[in-house]
A and B are shown apart, each in its own frame.
Chain A
Amino acid sequence: MTLEIRNLEKSFGKHQQILAGISMHVNEGEFVSILGPSGSGKSTLFNLIGGLINPDSGQIILNHSVINGELGHISFMPQEHSLLPWRTVLKNILLSSEIKGKSDESLARDWLKRTGLADYENAYPHELSGGMKQRVSFLRSLLAPQSFMCMDEPFSALDEFTRLDMQQWLLSIWEEQRRSILLVTHNIDEALLLSDRIYIFSDKPAKIKEEIIVPFPRPRQKELLLTDEFTAWKRKIYSALEKEKPDESDRCSYSS
């Protein structure tokens, strides 16, 4: 699965330009992150890729075919877990494949076992912690029939410890599966730890400020976060984000 975005533009109304000519790509089996301040149009980008809205101009190309405004091509993991409260964990995981007509219960059970969630198979979402809900939500999009995954700040609502845990967990699964993933985040550590490449977005209207190729070898461990090399890269990204920052410099929307 490859994704290519060419010159994507989107405005709401006459004066509110959200995306100003975004061009980017995700290669087969690549983990790509978009890093940018909150409210920089990252969610709009996902709504465009997901087909909820149409771009003003530009193309979204999935596996060499244009999918502008078409629903049902990507597997989405939203910011809020969006699990159905009336379905058990197992039934929630099956939802994504159920929509396309074929759901494989034994495969879902298998995955629950592999990811340490087997005991929660029959639990309802309200019985789970925030981290657990996100794990279930991730499994749901992993088991979706669409293999290209888009994740919208999936860990932003979690506390620091849970987030670290989740990132580790995600890494271990992803390094086995090597799916193509596009992740939106405003967390520099998260982007560096998880991705192969990072696009840095500017504030509204969003443009790509810089593209960074993350050099760390895989498999990666969380100890990486403490190395000097990691800190050096972090500094580099931080200064890239700081560049041509808007006048209101007292805003600090980048959490570290």
Chain B
Amino acid sequence: MNRKQIKGWQPILVILLFLIFWQLSINFFKIEAWLLPGPIAILKEGIQSYDSLVPHVLSTVQLTISGFLVGTFLGLMIAIVLHLIPGFKEAFYPLLILSQNVPIIVLAPLLIIWFGFGVLPKLMIISLVCFFPVTVSALDGFRQTPTELINYMKMAGATKSQLFWKIECPYSLPSIFSGLKISATYSVMGAVISEWLGAKTGIGVFMTLASSSFRTDRVFVSIFIIMLLSMFFFGLIVLLERMTVKWKSKGVK
């Protein structure tokens, strides 16, 4: 119990030391606040603009969650279709990889030209960055299902759908969760990028306004908010994983 507490504090200690080092160097080298503000100044600014920040944060959270849900749902569906229909995986996998090579920064304005400033292009951007980790990890999970289990099920007369729902699906859950963790953090970034390109509210908007008026402290405030949001969503997935994949808790071979 004691040990566990100490373990949890180690990363926090490292981050604290980093912040202290940052603050001290700002003071020591007398760096201007508009170039690089210290953590204390950033915290002060964050508290001061708390009221104006809340609607931005809420809007980003909302966008992130809906984008994440759409993206991961699509990702899972794509994985299942590619897995279940013979030949599809080989045929479509390269296309999936290519989809990740399209620079989002270039694609996003195009999507806005095509679909306007509504929520649709934003969801598309988040989905595009979110679906890939889920698809890849789910496909890996399906593929790695042990042959002994599959053979056993076949000999027992299992149908293809029984094989999928009773064996491949539960077997790949831990692997799918790895993908979900990556997607969860990506989705925050995706939401911010999509907000840069045309939105009324959101951390992305707050950030663009701040950087165009040289409010570096506010830029850092938004950076920290993005980090916290990412960690929050990551933690949420970890929690969900612990609740779902109980049997993995003690290291199954």
Residues on A lying within 8 angstroms of B by beta carbon are 47, 50-52, 71-76, 78, 80, 82, 84-87, 95-96, 98-100, 124-127, 144, 146
- In the bound complex, do residue A99 and residue B149 qualify as a contact, i.e. CB atoms below 8 Å apart? no
How many Å from the CB of B172 to the closest CB on chain A?
11
- In the bound complex, do residue B157 and residue A71 qualify as a contact, i.e. CB atoms below 8 Å apart? yes
- Interface flags for B119-156 (1: CB within 8 Å of A; 0: not) read 00000000000000000000000000010110111111
- In the bound complex, do residue A71 and residue B170 qualify as a contact, i.e. CB atoms below 8 Å apart? no
- Of B149, B152, B248, B252, the most chain A CB neighbours within 10 A belong to B152
Partner of A126, one of B146, B167, B171, B247: B247
- In the bound complex, do residue A72 and residue B155 qualify as a contact, i.e. CB atoms below 8 Å apart? yes
Residues of chain B within 8 A of A80, CB atoms compared: 148
- In the bound complex, do residue A82 and residue B149 qualify as a contact, i.e. CB atoms below 8 Å apart? yes
Measured CA separation A75–B166 after assembly (Å): 18
Residues of chain B within 8 A of A126, CB atoms compared: 247, 250-253
Measured CA separation A72–B153 after assembly (Å): 9
- In the bound complex, do residue B170 and residue A84 qualify as a contact, i.e. CB atoms below 8 Å apart? yes
- Interface flags for B42-55 (1: CB within 8 Å of A; 0: not) read 00000000000000
Q: Does B36 contact A (CB under 8 A)?
A: no
Q: Is the interface of A mostly helix, strand, loop or mixed?
A: loop
Q: Name the 7 nearest CB pairs between A and B, nearest first.
A: A72-B157, A50-B155, A86-B247, A85-B252, A76-B155, A82-B152, A126-B252
Could you jot down 14 A-B contacts, CB within 8 Å?
A50-B151, A51-B154, A52-B154, A71-B155, A76-B156, A78-B151, A82-B146, A82-B149, A86-B173, A96-B156, A98-B166, A99-B153, A99-B157, A146-B157
Q: Does B25 contact A (CB under 8 A)?
A: no
Chain B residue at smallest Cβ distance from A144: B156
Partner of B149, one of A50, A51, A84, A146: A84
Once A and B bind, how many residue pairs between them come within 8 Å at the CB atom? 68
- In the bound complex, do residue A52 and residue B247 qualify as a contact, i.e. CB atoms below 8 Å apart? no
- In the bound complex, do residue B170 and residue A74 qualify as a contact, i.e. CB atoms below 8 Å apart? no
- In the bound complex, do residue B155 and residue A95 qualify as a contact, i.e. CB atoms below 8 Å apart? no
Q: Quick one: given A85-B247, A126-B247, A126-B250, are A99 and B152 in contact (CB under 8 Å)?
A: no
Measured CA separation A124–B146 after assembly (Å): 18
Q: Does B99 contact A (CB under 8 A)?
A: no
How many Å from the CB of A81 to the closest CB on chain B?
9
Residues of chain B within 8 A of A72, CB atoms compared: 155-158
How many Å from the CB of A87 to the closest CB on chain B?
8
Q: Does B162 contact A (CB under 8 A)?
A: yes
How many Å from the CB of B156 to the closest CB on chain A?
5
- In the bound complex, do residue A127 and residue B250 qualify as a contact, i.e. CB atoms below 8 Å apart? yes
- In the bound complex, do residue A71 and residue B247 qualify as a contact, i.e. CB atoms below 8 Å apart? no
Measured CA separation A74–B151 after assembly (Å): 13
Q: Quick one: given A72-B157, A99-B158, A100-B157, are A86 and B152 in contact (CB under 8 Å)?
A: no
Chain B residue at smallest Cβ distance from A51: B155
Residues of chain A within 8 A of B166, CB atoms compared: 84, 95, 98-99
Partner of B148, one of A71, A82, A100: A82
- Of B146, B157, B170, B250, the most chain A CB neighbours within 10 A belong to B157
Measured CA separation A146–B153 after assembly (Å): 13
Residues of chain A within 8 A of B153, CB atoms compared: 99
Partner of B151, one of A52, A84, A85, A144: A52
- In the bound complex, do residue B157 and residue A86 qualify as a contact, i.e. CB atoms below 8 Å apart? no
Measured CA separation A87–B148 after assembly (Å): 16
Residues of chain A within 8 A of B152, CB atoms compared: 76, 78, 82
Measured CA separation A51–B151 after assembly (Å): 10
Residues of chain B within 8 A of A98, CB atoms compared: 166
Residues of chain A within 8 A of B154, CB atoms compared: 50-52, 71
How many Å from the CB of A151 to the closest CB on chain B?
12
Chain B residue at smallest Cβ distance from A96: B156
How many Å from the CB of B96 to the closest CB on chain A?
28
- In the bound complex, do residue A75 and residue B156 qualify as a contact, i.e. CB atoms below 8 Å apart? yes
Residues of chain A within 8 A of B156, CB atoms compared: 72, 75-76, 95-96, 99-100, 144, 146
Query: Which residues in chain B, 5-52, are within 8 Å of chain A measured between CB atoms?
Result: none
How many Å from the CB of B20 to the closest CB on chain A?
44
Measured CA separation A71–B251 after assembly (Å): 33
